[in-house]
Amino acid sequence: MNQQYTHPNLESESGALPSTNRSLERLEIFTFGGLRLVRNGQPVANTGSRRVEALLAYLACADRPQPRELLADLLWDDRPQQQAMSNLRTVLSGLRKHFGPFVSITRAAVEMTPAAKVWLDVSELTEYARMARAGNMSMEVASRITRAMSRFNGEFLEGFYLRGGRGFELWLLQTRETQMTRLLDTLDRLVEFHLDHTAPAAGIPLARQRLQLDPLSEAGYRRLMHLLAADGQRLTALAQFEACRQMLNDEFGVEPEAETIALVAQIRGGELPRVTEASRIDHPSTPSNGPPVPDFLQKPASPAETPTLFVARNRELARLDEQLVMALDGRGQVALVTGEAGRGKSSLLSEFARRAQDAYPTLVAASGVCNAYLGAGDPYLPFRELLAQLTGDAESRLAAGNRSRGHAHRLWNLLAHSAQALVEHGPNLIETLIPAASLTRRVNAANLPALANQITTLASQPRTPTATPEKYQIFEQVGQVLETLANRQPLLLILDDLQWADSASVNLLFYLARQLVDLPIMLVGAYRPIELQAGSGPPAPFAPVAGELKRLFGDIELDLGRTPAAEGREFLDALLDSVPNRLDESFRAAMFGRTQGHPLFTVELLQVMQERGDLVQDEAGLWIEGRPLDWDSLPPRVEAVIEQRLARLDDNAQEILSIAAVEGEQFTGQVVARLLGLSERKLLRQLSRMLGKRHRLVRAQGEVTVGENRLSRFQFRHALFQQYLYHQLSPGERRLLHRDIAAVLEELHAGHTGEISVALAHHYTEAGQGKQAIPHLLRAGDQARLAYAYEAAIEHYRQAVIFLKEQDDDRAADTLMKLGLTYHNAFRFEESRQAYDEAFALRQQPARHQSASEPAAEYTLRIAVWEPTSLDPALADDQNFYHQLFRGLVAETTELGVVPDVAQRWEILDGGRSYIFHLRPDARWSDGAPLTAADFEFAWKRVLNPATGAPLANLLYDVKNGRAFHQGHLPDAGSVGVRALDAATLAVELEEPAGYFLHLLACGTGCPVPRHLVEQHGPNWTAPEHIATNGPFRVERWLPGQSAVLRKNPHYHGPFSGNLERVELTISRWDSDANLKRYEAGELDVVLDLFPSEETDRVRRRYAGDFIAAPALQTTYIGFNLDQPPFDDVRVRQALALAIDKQALAN
């Protein structure tokens, strides 16, 4: 809501603008209860179109100029950008025609004209809400606001709908919720005011209005009953009780709460009820609504919980608070705090969060910090920390002094709601961004067993990524969880050290900034500008996003590096005067001359002078100059300040910090203890007491549980300390320490090393131990790729390739294939081609480590399978089974990678729009006939031919004209973008580049069929006596519905591990229990099944040596039973189809 808009005079009963000057154009916009426009006192009957009205309402509620691109996407998100921009020009023409004096339209942006006379009821309500929250209203002002409340007699833009404008509809729903929350809160506060001032009659209409807006609120009924009884209307109050009881029975099938029954007893007894908590409307911050208070919040406060001294920065705090106020009003805000190391960014954000939560009881603040060493390779690191806090992880931060006790209570009270939001809106975030084990522990501690079971069930389900890897699934679920929480109470989200953020975190931040602007959320980021561009190398991932955020949101940067000299001196004086002293102007001027008010320089230099004896306390306890000061000997740079700080430590303490610095800015006490051969207790005492409390070089970050171990985490108070210590070590010392730290970390995390793959990869890499680094680099790369953090995955794979080549390891080719796939998924097709070319060259070389062949097995492998629909790949609906009979151009690995199969290599051309596949020269059908590119062309066009009836033809829709041919819009199969250039070369052209295309080729639909047999035998080509396959097995016998026998294919081109010759398949229905019993009885050798989630753990434990789990690509769906009403009626199905927003589901 633009603060430049005129608010109505509180004396006015109508809320209209003063009309003393009729010569001035004025516009009144009423949004509550539906949109109503009044221009110069006359209703506006013609606005041109619905979209003109939508755009006018949106602009009126915005607080800044809106880019045309944003408006086009808002109103036509289902149209191409060019068409949407053209449509917008038409609507802007109508807007200018009907409301020209009130809008400013430029080539870049649109806004309400700041100087125009525009009144908006939303702005009026915002002002009334602010006055009601202030708590110091006079009776006269409260009465005026009370009279004005009658204008808010419905929802925001009630009944307003914009077809095809999904973005607008989303904004509308969010704004409607925000405004309703504000209206109900204002009504509650006004009612309380009238009760407190013994004026129940004035509060009764407000209570009735509130009940009309929220008719299912039992607390609202209690409030009205209280007011009526206090006004002497006892019978009417009791009648409200009967209405309340009837409502509860009709809507929920329950009886009134004990508080309501007690209130009724008071009224019937003739007692005048007083205002109690039982009659108050529950607000999100009410402590009694939270889960049981955990032990760590019941312990006595520790010294660490004392707020850190903070001085000056009033201008910066005021500016941040202005944005926060707008965010609390439902206008989401983005702020960027910049400045170089030591400028006080982190301290400013910490103080801002503390003050904001003290000022606004419902506000919840959470933060995440990027890491200089691991952040770029550790996907979503700051968001993992942030989400952990929002799900109740407050103990370690309270112990470390990073949260006050009240703020920790607030995070804990949010746990039930945040965990439920995760289950409902962010199931894929569990384990991906939030460890299920720690989340479950907190939920159990909050006495929420049902919710804990849901989380455990979600975490135990096998990972089944879709066939089109898309990181926005994570983005959308994070956004939906935050939106759910923000609709309950406002959020302040802080991300620090964004200069070290990984690409995945940066992209998620940019997504949230654009998606959550109409919610009560404030996003604050801090970074060092100079580190966004590292020399001649590529810029940091956050560099372009920082510029884009400024372009989209305007003046959002708070640069601490441009602090005026006067404010620097103000900081110095405030810091000195935070303790009693008699330091005169000459000392202050000299100190300022050396530090220029730089926070880190000033704080560190002052502490050095105190500890060195340059400054001492006199008998009265005042700080004074202890001796003549030699300013020339004082350190001019922060490195010298740190050097002096560290020089005061003994050799043992310095060695502790040196080892800690190699682990990183955050380090583990137990690691340092083992490397030094110290007892854990002694080491933790030195870190906590001497290095923490006395020298203030490190701070405790709490403890984490890993298996049977509890590990104590610490952090350097400033990254410069860690950097200085690290670079003081020789390269040889650093290398050896990295090696030893990695070994200890592996030991402490035994059985859980996957959780620290990034850290282990970093340490072994820096130690130069490529052999040890390889498995961790590969695991970290796989984890990042499957989480769609492609930049991080690329860095891990590239380093792994270097080490694998040094080790002369055959896995180099496979890793290059993963690297090529990652580039491909990221739409970096030229780099993908280069990685693939190198991989193909390595794969052409003879394997250096070939296993000896084994004699053929005499035993037949027995497996139970489901009845396949057909042996024809084009008609298959069970894609997994057909890979044993048919193979495509590529195959999928157990790590969900893509490797060559029938194609021995491929080229990616035209920016990912064209592919050339080169087939293996030894590819043959099981009947000995050559397998050619023409077989692939024939197979794909056959799948797309609508006469074939292929159930999964849509998997080839990315092929040029594939969709049009399959849907009958193009009659000629020759227009489909697949063509055999010769017997061994297949050309494929796509509609648009598709990062997931290679994954699709691994599906059965992409397999070839023997053209010579299909043309010879028609549909009967799959009969056992005719069929030819190109997979590991051929069909020897097939009895539909009963059994089949597969025999090893002698012409199979691929590697065939093991000595299996014959497989016997028993056709069975999907019955896990029955198949498991047959396995236990020795009738089956393999059970290929998906066990119910509750059975998976039991089966895994019972058959620990036999159980194998692997990721799979799978789509699961639920369909209606068309044989039963009402779904046997086509009209019902059509109505449901029309009611579903398919575009919203697809996105």
3-state secondary structure 177-216: HHHHHHHHHHHHHHHHHHHHCCCHHHHHHHHHHHHHHCCC
pLDDT, tens digit, for every residue of 1014-1030? 999 999 999 999 999 99
**pLDDT at position 277:** 32
CA atoms within 13 A on the CB side of 1077: 3
Name residue, tokens 């525009």. Answer: 118
- 28 and 124 in a single domain? The answer is yes
Residue 731 lies in a domain: no
| Residue 466 main-chain phi, psi, to 5 deg | -75, 170
pLDDT, tens digit, for every residue of 345-365? 888 888 888 888 877 778 899
Boundary residue ending a domain (271, 289, 307): 289
**pLDDT at position 281:** 36
- 612 and 699 in a single domain? The answer is no
**pLDDT at position 1087:** 82
pLDDT, tens digit, for every residue of 110-130? 999 888 889 899 988 888 888
Residue 793 lies in a domain: no
- 406 and 544 in a single domain? The answer is yes
* Tokens matching residue 926: 């099981």
**pLDDT at position 24:** 64
- 215 and 350 in a single domain? The answer is no
Q: Is the pLDDT of residue 763 over 70?
A: yes
**pLDDT at position 4:** 35
Residue 475 lies in a domain: yes
Boundary residue ending a domain (615, 637, 659): 637
Boundary residue ending a domain (246, 269, 289): 289
- 441 and 547 in a single domain? The answer is yes
**pLDDT at position 1122:** 84
- 45 and 100 in a single domain? The answer is yes
Residue 825 lies in a domain: no
Residue 520 lies in a domain: yes
pLDDT, tens digit, for every residue of 647-670? 878 899 999 999 999 999 899 999
Q: Is the pLDDT of residue 903 over 90?
A: yes
pLDDT band at 818 (very low <50, low <70, confident <90, very high): very high
865 vs 676, more confident:
676
**pLDDT at position 26:** 87
**pLDDT at position 276:** 38
Q: How many angstroms separate the CA atoms of 640 and 653, rounded?
A: 18
Q: What is the CATH classification number for the domain harbouring 872? A: 3.40.190.10
* Tokens matching residue 957: 């829709």
- 111 and 9 in a single domain? The answer is yes
Name, in order, each residue with C-beta under 8 angstroms of 358's C-beta and a sequence gap of 6 or more.
406
pLDDT band at 313 (very low <50, low <70, confident <90, very high): confident
18 vs 370, more confident:
370
pLDDT band at 953 (very low <50, low <70, confident <90, very high): very high
- 2 and 131 in a single domain? The answer is yes
Written as one letter, the residue type at 1062 is R
pLDDT band at 13 (very low <50, low <70, confident <90, very high): very low
What CA dihedral angle connects 129, 133, 139 and 142, to 10 degrees?
A: 10
Q: Is the pLDDT of residue 397 over 80?
A: no
pLDDT band at 298 (very low <50, low <70, confident <90, very high): low
Q: Is the pLDDT of residue 737 over 80?
A: yes
Instruction: Work out the percent of the chain whose per-residue pLDDT is above 70.
Output: 86
Residue 1141 lies in a domain: no
Q: How many angstroms separate the CA atoms of 411 and 364, rounded?
A: 7
Q: How many angstroms separate the CA atoms of 255 and 245, rounded?
A: 7
**pLDDT at position 287:** 38
- 527 and 594 in a single domain? The answer is no
Residue 799 lies in a domain: no
**pLDDT at position 468:** 35
pLDDT band at 1091 (very low <50, low <70, confident <90, very high): low
**pLDDT at position 848:** 54
Q: Is the pLDDT of residue 512 over 80?
A: yes
Q: What would the mean pLDDT of 494-500 be, rounded to a whole number?
A: 90
Domain count, the chain: 6
Instruction: Work out the percent of the chain whose per-residue pLDDT is above 90.
Output: 33
pLDDT, tens digit, for every residue of 469-487? 356 688 889 999 999 999 8
pLDDT band at 921 (very low <50, low <70, confident <90, very high): very high
Q: How many angstroms separate the CA atoms of 266 and 268, rounded?
A: 6
694 vs 58, more confident:
58
Name, in order, each residue with C-beta under 8 angstroms of 524's C-beta and a sequence gap of 6 or more.
320, 334, 335, 336, 337, 349, 352, 492, 493, 494, 495
| Residue 649 main-chain phi, psi, to 5 deg | -85, 150
Q: Is the pLDDT of residue 252 over 90?
A: no
pLDDT band at 467 (very low <50, low <70, confident <90, very high): very low
- 891 and 964 in a single domain? The answer is yes
Q: Is the pLDDT of residue 380 over 50?
A: yes
pTM of the model: 0.62
* Tokens matching residue 1132: 């019902």
pLDDT band at 1032 (very low <50, low <70, confident <90, very high): very high
pLDDT band at 328 (very low <50, low <70, confident <90, very high): confident
Name residue, tokens 């004396």. Answer: 11
**pLDDT at position 375:** 53
**pLDDT at position 557:** 87
**pLDDT at position 168:** 86
Written as one letter, the residue type at 1099 is V
Q: Is the pLDDT of residue 344 over 60?
A: yes
- Strand ranges (E), 1016-1105: 1033-1039, 1043-1048, 1062-1067, 1086-1087
Q: Is the pLDDT of residue 536 over 80?
A: no
Q: What would the mean pLDDT of 502-510 be, rounded to a whole number?
A: 89
pLDDT band at 5 (very low <50, low <70, confident <90, very high): very low
pLDDT band at 883 (very low <50, low <70, confident <90, very high): confident
- Domain extent at residue 387: 320-462+469-562
pLDDT, tens digit, for every residue of 569-605? 877 887 887 778 888 888 888 877 767 677 767 777 7
Among residues 890, 886, 884, the alpha carbon closest in space to that of 902 is found at: 890
Total Cβ atoms within 10 A of residue 948: 15
**pLDDT at position 2:** 36
pLDDT, tens digit, for every residue of 701-722? 888 999 889 999 999 876 667 8
Return the ∠ at Cα 1060 (arms to 1054 and 1063), rounded to 5°. 105
**pLDDT at position 1114:** 65
644 vs 353, more confident:
353
HEC-encoded secondary structure of 836-855: HHHHHHHHHCCCCCCCCCCC
**pLDDT at position 432:** 86
Q: How many angstroms separate the CA atoms of 322 and 63, rounded?
A: 13
Q: What is the CATH classification number for the domain harbouring 205? A: 1.25.40.10
Q: How many angstroms separate the CA atoms of 365 and 408, rounded?
A: 10
Q: Is the pLDDT of residue 734 over 80?
A: yes
Residue 1015 lies in a domain: yes
Mean pLDDT for all residues in the chain? 83
Q: What would the mean pLDDT of 1110-1120 be, rounded to a whole number?
A: 71
Name, in order, each residue with C-beta under 8 angstroms of 1110's C-beta and a sequence gap of 6 or more.
894
- 243 and 343 in a single domain? The answer is no
**pLDDT at position 283:** 38
Helix axes 218-230, 258-268, angle to 10 degrees: 10
Written as one letter, the residue type at 329 is D
- 457 and 575 in a single domain? The answer is no
